[in-house]
Amino acid sequence: MKYDPAQKTTRGAVRTLKAFSETMLIMLGEKPFEKISVNALCEAADYPRATFYNYFDDKYDLLTYCWYRMRREVHLDQISGDPTDASFMAAFDQIYHLFDSHHDLLIAVVSHNPLDSQLVNHFIQYFTSVFTELFTARAKPQELKTPVELVAKHYSSTVLLIMEWIFLGQHPTTREEAEVYVRELLEPRFTCVE
């Protein structure tokens, strides 16, 4: 992101950032992302174009900030403690809750932006990278030949795949069912025992 939220961020800046990101989310529920011009966005947010470019490199940069705000609502960081299976499922549950709490927004957005659109892609990729970091931080000491980073990416992309299936692909699924999916996909042993 062009604008680093870890910086000081004056009160005015916060207001501006918030205005742009909320306007973007509203417009995403109304039309496809490609049809949203920076012009129209500034019009709707009632800020001059130059201000937009003050804070963001481009449309995509604003998107990143939108996802950043969404992600921030849930405190995922606290999980990275011990690497037991229980803690993994705890992380998974928090992720499920994060998406579930934005259910309506996601439905609205997907109705104008297909699953293979740039927008959905950008969304998935953002959260994949967030979770990859998370999983890398709490990686088990490995008995595998596969590199740790690759395993972490595999975990996070699988979790995101399930979230995409449930919340963007419109396949209503309870948290318990979702937990079964993630176990089946990431630990086939689970199914042998049952």
Write out the residues near DNA by the rule CB under 7 A. Answer: 10, 12-13, 16, 37-40, 47-51, 53-54, 57-59
Q: Is residue 161 involved in binding a copy of itself (CB under 8 A)?
A: yes
- Residue 41 or 166: the one with the smaller Cβ distance to DNA is 41
Check residue 12 for interaction with a copy of itself (CB under 8 A): no
Nearest-5° angle of CA 72, CA 119, CA 75?
10
Residue 102: count of CB within 10 angstroms of its CB: 15
Q: Which stretch binds a copy of itself (CB under 8 A): 16-24, 46-54, 67-75, 140-148?
A: 140-148
- Name which of 35, 42, 32 is nearest 62 in CA terms: 42
Cβ neighbours for 24, distance < 8 A, ≥ 6 positions apart: 36, 41, 62, 63, 66
* Identity of residue 92: F
Chain positions contacting a copy of itself, by CB under 8 A: 116, 118, 121, 125, 129, 143-147, 149-151, 153-154, 157-158, 161-162, 165, 171, 177, 180-181, 184-189, 191-192
